[in-house]
Structure 1
Amino acid sequence: MQTMDAIDATPEGALASPAVARNREPILAALKAHMPARGAVLEIAAGSGEHAVAFARALPGLEWTPSDPSAEARASIAAWAEAAGLPNLRPPRALDVLDEAGWPEGPFNAVVCINMIHISPWAATVGLMKLAGRVLPVGGLLVAYGPYREAEVPLASSNAAFDESLRARDPAWGLRDRDEVAAAAKAEGLALTRRVEMPANNLMLLFRKVGG
């Protein structure tokens, strides 16, 4: 499971991410403003599973399916889900955006991806967009949260340092240019419709599947 935070195992066998405690409420507030009231949601790179539990609990009209390529992450998601006992939280799926053979058929009303794009190779972003373009119906929503580079916005010093640390850990990682991400989405029939500023110099980018 890729993360830049230290993660400690809980007594129940689940994993706990400090990043979730910091960003859960702001992300949830944004989701409440833009997600459909009802429907099916696919979460990509769900990590520890804490987001999935929090969002499924707060958005009971949505059937939430978390996924992650990491067996460790899926075990944690399952532990959190068992403890929560939420009827709208589905079992975690083994899903890698780089492996189309394991992608679900859909459709899903929304796809949510939190803090993956910068902690993965560029091919993962391309895969995310291709997957979303395949499983979302026209009007369906893709949510991509994290830090980005923007040509018209000076890069915050904290984000510059974070980007440097990411590239030192893996040269294929790093903050992506927002317009390049939007171009990859457009190639799969997804239009960037909203840019939401989030705490700690993060953004929530909202894409909609367009027709024709």
Structure 2
Amino acid sequence: MTDARLSSPAALRNRDPILAVLRSVLPATGTVLEIASGSGEHIVHFARALPILTWQPSDPSEAARGSIAAWLAAEAPANVLPPLDVDASAHDWPVTAADAVLAINMVHISPWAATLGLLAGAARLLPPGGPLFLYGPYRRGGEPMAPSNIAFDADLKARDPAWGIRDLDSVAAAGDTLGLSLDHVVDMPANNLSVVFTRR
């Protein structure tokens, strides 16, 4: 591609398994806010498959927002809004409400403060019963991690010591203090999880 569009092989691999879970999680109507939209490929794919919903992409990276805007220009989905500059760790987001919040492959590729900010932001924006959907690799209790996730965790920490695969119990405990209840967890391909919280 000769424009600003970026492409992620992982996004192309996991978008349909994620969409299958989202179909059972998202509300029938309303606005879905995606935090850390990255290249924009996920949100364009989901918006095409679920056209009644309004989709709001966001990313703190200028390059990512440029990619999202380029994908929107190329695909022209009528139900996707222009990307916003949202830093998950910030207290104030340029969004006042959302019926659902998504964060795909963000929690492990950001500092813990970003996860805490994501949970707090979702708690502020979501209505009672509104879902927060997370996707990525997690540690689960005392279970040993898959060898691929052990290697991935080491690679993440080598790139940035503040990154790394998070303990799901710790994420759930932090969410619980903010009024977010862990609803269910779905095993996904490549040792990833779909994690669904709901706003109490």
Taking structure 2 as the reference length, what is the TM-score of the superposition? 0.97
Instruction: Report the Cα distance in structure 1 between the residues aligned to 2:61 and 2:91, rounded to whole angstroms.
Output: 16
In the TM superposition, residue 86 of structure 1 has moved relative to its aligned partner by 1.0
In the TM superposition, residue 101 of structure 1 has moved relative to its aligned partner by 3.0
In the TM superposition, residue 166 of structure 1 has moved relative to its aligned partner by 0.5
Which runs of 5 or more residues in structure 1 are unaligned?
1-9
Q: Return the letter of the residue paired with 1:72.
A: A
Instruction: Report the Cα distance in structure 2 between the residues aligned to 1:153 and 1:25, rounded to whole angstroms.
Output: 27
Count of aligned positions: 200
* SS of alignment partner, residue 158 of structure 2: helix
Counterpart among 168, 176, 200 of residue 178 in structure 1: 168
Taking structure 1 as the reference length, what is the TM-score of the superposition? 0.92
Which runs of 5 or more residues in structure 2 are unaligned?
none
Instruction: Report the Cα distance in structure 1 between the residues aligned to 2:173 and 2:7, rounded to whole angstroms.
Output: 34
User: Any conservation in 1 of the 2:89–2:115 contact (CA below 8 Å)?
Assistant: no
* SS of alignment partner, residue 198 of structure 2: strand
User: Any conservation in 1 of the 2:122–2:132 contact (CA below 8 Å)?
Assistant: yes
Query: Residue 24 in 1 paired to residue 15 in 2?
Result: yes
> Which residue of the partner structure matches residue 190 of structure 1?
180
CA RMSD for the aligned pairs?
0.9
User: Any conservation in 1 of the 2:28–2:52 contact (CA below 8 Å)?
Assistant: yes
Percent identity between the two aligned chains: 56
In the TM superposition, residue 103 of structure 1 has moved relative to its aligned partner by 3.8
Instruction: Report the Cα distance in structure 1 between the residues aligned to 2:40 and 2:91, rounded to whole angstroms.
Output: 22
Instruction: Report the Cα distance in structure 2 between the residues aligned to 1:63 and 1:21, rounded to whole angstroms.
Output: 21
In the TM superposition, residue 152 of structure 1 has moved relative to its aligned partner by 4.0
Greater displacement, 91-100 / 46-55: 91-100
> Which residue of the partner structure matches residue 169 of structure 1?
159
* SS of alignment partner, residue 32 of structure 1: helix
Counterpart among 53, 57, 75 of residue 66 in structure 2: 75
In the TM superposition, residue 68 of structure 1 has moved relative to its aligned partner by 0.3
Which runs of structure 2 are paired with 1:122-161 in the superposition (5 Å)? 122-161=112-151
